[in-house]
Structure 1
Amino acid sequence: MQKLLVLYGSYRSDRMGIRLADYLVRRFQARGVDAELIDAKAIGLPMLDRMYKEYTPAEAPSAMAALAAKIREADAFLFVTGEYNWGVQPGLKNLTDHFLEEWFWRPAAIASYSAGRLSGVRAAQAWHPTLAEMGMVVVSSTLSIGPISATLDPAAQPIGGGGAALEAGFDRFADDLTWWADAAARQRAVVAPPY
C-alpha cells in the first residue's frame, strides 16, 4: 500500500483550506492509499533555525524527529497550498524547509485553493521549483480550487459547480501521482539513488 503525506500549512483561525486537505485524504484513502494529513499548525515546529539534519539524533525536537521519519517512509507527497499575496503560505514553507534529504527521490503533487476565483494558482507556480529544488519530482497534474467556500462545505463535501469540477478532476490527478509513486518505488528498489 502506498504511503502518501498530505501537507497543509495554514495557521489562520478560520482556515478554509483544511476542507481541501480533508477531502484529498478521504479520496486517496478510498482508492486504497494510506493517506495521512500533516497539519503544520498541529505539529507546531518553530520558525526555522536549524534543519533536522543539523541536530544530533538526541537533540532534535520530538515533533521534528517524528515527522522526519514519516517523510522518509512516504512514497509520495501532496502539498495543499493557499495563496498569500501572490506567494506561498509561510506555515507550509516553514514546515517544508526543516527537512531536505528526507524529501529526495519521491514525487510530489500540488493542490491549491483560494477564497477567490484565481484558485491559488500563483502559489502553486511558486511551489513547483521549490519542491523540485528539494529533490522531489513534481507531477504535471494539479488541482486548483476557488472559491473554496463554494466548492467544499465545512464537512469537506463537494458542493455546486466547483465541487463537481473538483470531483471530475480528482481521478486524473490521483492517477498521475500514484503512477509516479509506484515508478519511483520500483526504481529505488532496483537502483539505489545516486546520493
Structure 2
Amino acid sequence: MADRILVFYGSYRSDRQGIRLAQYLVRALQARGAEAELIDAKAVGLPILDRMYKEYPKGEAPANLEQLAGKIRGADGFVFVTGEYNWGIQPGLKNLTDHFLEEWFWRPAAIASYSAGRLAGARAATAWHGTLSEMGMVVISSTIAVGGIGHALDAEANPTGESGASLEHAFPRFADDLAWWVEAARSQRAKAAPPY
C-alpha cells in the first residue's frame, strides 16, 4: 500500500518561490513510491476562517472545503511547506489548516521551511511545530530548511547550487523519518481505535 501524503503550501504572493520546494517534495516523494499530492492554499481558495468544516451542517459545507476534508481524512501523513513572514508563519497556510481539526488527528506531519535569507525559515518551522502538535498531529523530528530559495531550485523545481545540493542531501532522512511514522500510525490505527 502506497503512503498517501498531502504536501501543503500556503503562499498567496504573485512571485512565489516556495512553490518550487513544494513541487520538488511531491515529485521526490512520488519517486519513493508514495501517492503524494500538492495542496496549494491559493488554488483551494478558502475564505478567511469564519466557520470550521465541522461547524457546517452535514452536506452544507462549500464544495472545496468538503473535498479537502475528504483528502485530509484519507491521508496517511502530511508535509507543510512554509515560508517565513516577519519571523512568523504564512497566513494563507495557517488559514487553511484552521478550517479543520479532527481531520488531522493521529497522523504524522513534517515541516519543510524556506526563506530568501540564510536562516531558511527556521523561525516559522519552530512556530509550526507547536501549532501542528496542538492540532493532533505527531511532528517528526527531521526537517528540511532551504535558504536562498530563489537560487535553490530552478523553474522546473530541480535543485541548483549549494542550497539545492543541501536539499537533496537532507531529503532521504526527512522522507525516511516521515515514512516510519506513517507506518507506525497506520499500524496502530489498525490495532486500536484512537482514544478520542
**1:58 Cα deviation after fit:** 2.0
The correspondence of residues 27-38 of structure 1 with structure 2, limited to 5 A, is 27-38=28-39
- CA offset digits 1:29-66 (Å, max 9, x no partner): 00000000000000000000000000012210000000
Pairing of 1:22-61 with structure 2 (within 5 A): 22-61=23-62
| Identical columns (%) | 71
Aligned counterparts of 1:86 and 1:165: Cα–Cα separation in 2: 22
What is the aligned partner in structure 1 of residue 190 from structure 2?
A: 189
Where does the alignment leave 5 or more consecutive residues of structure 1 unmatched?
A: none
Asked if 1:135 is matched to 2:136, the reply is: yes
Deviations 1:3-35 (A, max 9, x none): 000000000000000000000000000000000
Aligned twin of 2:166: 165
CA RMSD of aligned residues (A): 0.5
2:112 match: secondary structure: strand
Measured against aligned partners, the alpha-carbon deviations of 1:133-180 in whole angstroms (never above 9, x if no partner) come to: 000000000000010112111110010111111101100000000110
Quote the Cα distance in structure 1 between the aligned partners of 2:91 and 2:45.
Answer: 13
1:158 counterpart SS class = coil
Aligned residue in 2 for 1:178: 179
Task: State how far apart, in whole Å, the 2-side matches of 1:96 and 1:159 are.
Answer: 31
SS at match of 1:29: helix
Amino acid at match of 1:24: L
Letter in 1 for 2:119: L
For these two proteins, the number of residue pairs brought into alignment is 195
2:91 aligned with 1:90, yes or no? yes
Length-normalised TM-score, structure 1: 0.99
SS of equivalent residue, structure 1 residue 83 = strand
> 5 Å matches for 1:43-122?
43-122=44-123
Deviations 1:69-93 (A, max 9, x none): 0000000000000000000000000
What TM-score do you get using the length of structure 2 for normalisation? 0.99
* Aligned counterpart, 2:153: 152
- Secondary structure of 1:78's partner? strand
Spell out structure 1 runs of 4+ moving beyond 6 A: none
2:20 corresponds to:
19
Give SS of 1:162's match: helix
Q: Distance in 1 between matches of 2:26 and 2:117?
A: 23
Q: Which ranges of structure 2 fall in alignment gaps of 5 or more residues?
A: none
The amino acid of 2:3's aligned partner reads: Q
- Partners in 2 of 1:153 and 1:111 — Cα distance? 18
Amino acid at match of 2:52: M
Letter in 2 for 1:190: K
